[in-house]
Amino acid sequence: MSGRVLVGVKRVIDYAVKIRVKPDNSGVVTDGVKHSMNPFCEIAVEEAVKLKEKKLIKEVVAVSCGPQQSQETIRTALAMGADRGIHVEVTGKDYDTLGPLQVSKILAALAKKEEAQLVILGKQAIDDDCNQTGQMTAALLDWPQGTFASEVSLENDKVKVVREIDGGLETIKISTPAVLTADLRLNTPRYATLPNIMKAKKKKIANVKPADLGVDLTSRLEVLRVDEPPQRQAGMKVETVDDLVVKLKDAGKV
């Protein structure tokens, strides 16, 4: 086994930003808006770096698909401890329609090319909330998957994964190579401090085109419309309990 881990990182609108829908309802305003690495992707990078620090794997490769700015996200991963990066250049219309299916095809191709032992991804992106890329990548590679991982341990050529599922935790053992997706409680990601960002500038980021990997980016999906969630109705205050009962009866709740 190569002892190489591929980590996918996605550049998304920062979690703390107030999202605004475009006036034509075609999407969300992204120009001039603060972007950063998807929080679940940070957790994925942290887990990969931890495995390397424990000397269980040899190399962490950070991958991101998107325009030039995706390189910033890769740099953050490098600052957190990844060894090198791969920027898969996707721009314009292709980037607008880029979704889990296309990304998983790209990741599967790269995992084979790089002879990765593990592919670690965040469980979902906070912008599209698809929660599909990890699963699709595993299916395309015909590799086992450990999704919603809250604990990962390598035992020889097997991986023990504790998964967060409805109603509790499930522990599974899968063989490598495998795909893992990180859940919130897997670890506490380290902060990419300025000195680390500076050191990371020496690390290489390779540039790759989807065509080089033989991946077709056509989307089977078309976004018809994007709307804001309904405004929360204002609450009402009442003076007495009797008033409350009257209001509830009027609303047909009682």
Partner 1 sequence: MANPLRGEVFRLYKNLLYLGREYPKGAAYFRERLKSAFMKNKDVKDPEKIKALVAKGDFVIKELQALYYLRKYRAMKKRYYESEE
Contacts with partner 1, residue ranges (CB under 8 A): 15-16, 39-40, 126, 184, 188-189, 191, 193-195, 197
Give me the least distance between CB of 15 and partner 1, in Å please: 6
Residue 43 or 106 having the CB closest to partner 1? 43
Residue 92 or 229 having the CB closest to partner 1? 229
Give me the least distance between CB of 38 and partner 1, in Å please: 10
Contact 9, 125 (CB under 8 A): no
Rounded distance, CA 196 to CA 191, Å?
A: 9
Give me the least distance between CB of 190 and partner 1, in Å please: 8
Give me the least distance between CB of 16 and partner 1, in Å please: 7
Residue 66 or 189 having the CB closest to partner 1? 189
Burial state string for 10-21 with b = 16 or more CB within 10 A and e = fewer than 16: bbbbeeeeeeee
Rounded distance, CA 107 to CA 63, Å?
A: 8
- The count of other CB atoms within 10 Å of the CB of residue 123 is 24
Residue 16 or 251 having the CB closest to partner 1? 16
198 φψ region: left (φ > 0), alpha (ψ -120 to 50), beta (else): alpha
Task: Supply the DSSP symbol for 210.
Answer: G
Give me the least distance between CB of 121 and partner 1, in Å please: 16
HEC profile of 169-191: EEEEEEECCEEEEECHHHCCCCC
**CA distance to 115, 167, 200, 219, 230, per residue, from 194 (Å):** 32, 41, 10, 38, 41
Give me the least distance between CB of 99 and partner 1, in Å please: 20
Give me the least distance between CB of 241 and partner 1, in Å please: 25
Q: What's at 34, amino acid-wise?
A: K
Residue 102 or 135 having the CB closest to partner 1? 135
Residue 194 or 224 having the CB closest to partner 1? 194
Angle (CA) 8-69-219 rounded to 5° is 60
H/E element holding 78? helix 70-80
Residue 149 or 215 having the CB closest to partner 1? 149
